[in-house]
Amino acid sequence: MKTRATTILTVRRNGLVAMGGDGQVTIGDAVMKADAVKIRRLAGEKVLVGFAGAAADAFALLERFEAKLKDFPGNLLRAATELAKEWRTDRVLRRLEAMMAAADARYTLLLTGTGDVIQPSDGVLGIGSGGNYAVAAARALLAHTQMTAPQIVRTALEIAAGIDIYTNTHLVVEELACET
């Protein structure tokens, strides 16, 4: 049975980075849980991490990522790169079906099992089944409103939930101060 779930969105604006995610977990054609929390604060509350994909796989990755953040304190980019290398080369990790978004005061990063560590040029990153819908909505809101980063994340996720059947409106949005 294929597990599908989630939309995670990260936006940077005016000294804030916000990351949000919905709460829906779907297995096959059934909603199994509506209020899952897919956003975590790591590294002494200085790093936001969101995950999409198989829940057990995502938790395994979160544990590894937390260890990398301890190995490279204050260096999100290096920790992400080291996790991506391990994820790509380790036989067990390579089979994990998940993606991660990570953000701190300086970086917003996408991490994948193929070894990708990608930083979006505009500070907007979406993953999961509704990620592209949320990114499109966030970019429009950035261009045409004065909303804050958390407001944009919440509104864009609500728009994505109206389009993507694997995304709901039980939202968690976290924010951090960031470098401008």
**6-36 residue pLDDT tens:** 899 999 999 999 999 999 988 878 888 999 9
Question: Is-catalytic flag, 26?
Answer: no
CATH class of 3-174: alpha beta
Q: Which of 6, 10, 108, 167 is catalytic?
A: 6
Neighbours of 112 (CB within 10 A): 15
Close Cβ partners of 30 (under 8 Å, ≥ 6 residues apart): none
Neighbours of 37 (CB within 10 A): 11
**Strand partners for 177:** 16
The dihedral of CA 106, 124, 4, 6: what is its sign?
positive
Q: What is the pTM of this model?
A: 0.93
Q: Which tens digits make up the pLDDT trace of 130-141?
A: 999 999 999 999
Distance (Å, rounded) from C-alpha 77 to C-alpha 109? Answer: 8
Close Cβ partners of 64 (under 8 Å, ≥ 6 residues apart): 83, 86, 87, 93
